[in-house]
Amino acid sequence: MGNNEKVAVAEEEKKSVNEVVEVAIETSYVDNDDWATYRDDEVMQQHNAIQAEEAHKLPFVGDKEPLSALAAEYQSGSPIIQEKIKLLGQSFSAIRRTRGDGNCFFRCFMFAYLEHILESQDKAEVDRIKANVEQCKKTLQNLGYAEFTFEDFFALFLEQLESVMQGNETSISHDELLTRSRDQSVSDYVVMFFRFVTSGEVRRRAEFFEPFILGLSNMTVEKFCKASVEPMGEESDHVHITALSDALGVAIRVMYLDRSSCDTGSVSVNHHDFVPSISDSPNGTTNAVAAKPVMTLLYRPGHYDILYSK
């Protein structure tokens, strides 16, 4: 398989950034007369550089779009993907994209959860998660983290949580929530809050997470947290999702949009519900609201967006 063919395959697998990536790559082929002399790793470096450049042109959290926008993105793509988008359209009406910068899962969680609280005004849920956040802080302290390394991130998340509850001087609207989610000084701090919570939960239950981490990498739990959880820009997988869901007691549904099909040849959209159990919750409590998914995320290889039910 030639270099150009390999890049084409990579594009099909990673269409999650934007169609403009394809245009940019095709342009680079035209502008480079000896592209065929490039090594595979150089081709992929070029591809990744274009993706990174295009990702930074997108806001951290985008506007809500009709699901037809997703269908338009794959008009000339895999027939299996097209069929799965039709199936998604039976249950979901809209999508909200996030920037593909490695922090997309945490930004999805941030906006979807705060939006849920803004719309539900569920004070009992706010009180519940505050108790879990306090327990997460104690977990980090017990693990030897100095409080000054994470206290600002925790404080900012709690501030955003308070602001979506109406009736206060600091209450904000949905538009203001979106504006704040696009403000790097707010968005990145909340992402770091989630990363510390996730790292603390993984370390607290190291024996449980170790087999999963060894299946993903050849790292110890401590090294995995330092290299793949705490730094900004590191992508999330099922370990991160499970740990965050368990630590905060918030259930998450993830729909998987990929090219897989059933053995029978039929097409269906797989999903997984990350539901924290009572024993997994840091303070040993949960409730019916927390046990039911309060958000649905769409996963495409390497990227998460938010889905909205009909």
Helices 174-182 and 104-120 sit at what angle, rounded to 10 degrees?
Answer: 160
* Residues involved in catalysis: 101, 104, 303
Backbone CA torsion sign across 127, 129, 134, 138: positive
How far is residue 142 from each of residues 123, 134, 246, measured CA to CA in Å? 29, 12, 18
Q: Which helix (H) or strand (E) holds 9?
A: helix 3-13
Burial annotation 241-280 (CB, 10 A radius, 16+ → b, else e): bbbbbbbbbbbbbbbebeeeeeeeeebebeeeebbbeeeb
Report phi then psi at 218, rounded to 5. Answer: -100, 45
Q: How far apart are CA 174 and CA 102, in angstroms?
A: 25
Is the distance from CB of 198 to CB of 243 less than 8 angstroms? yes
Report phi then psi at 48, rounded to 5. Answer: -65, -35
Backbone CA torsion sign across 172, 190, 98, 243: negative
Amino acid letter, residue 300: R
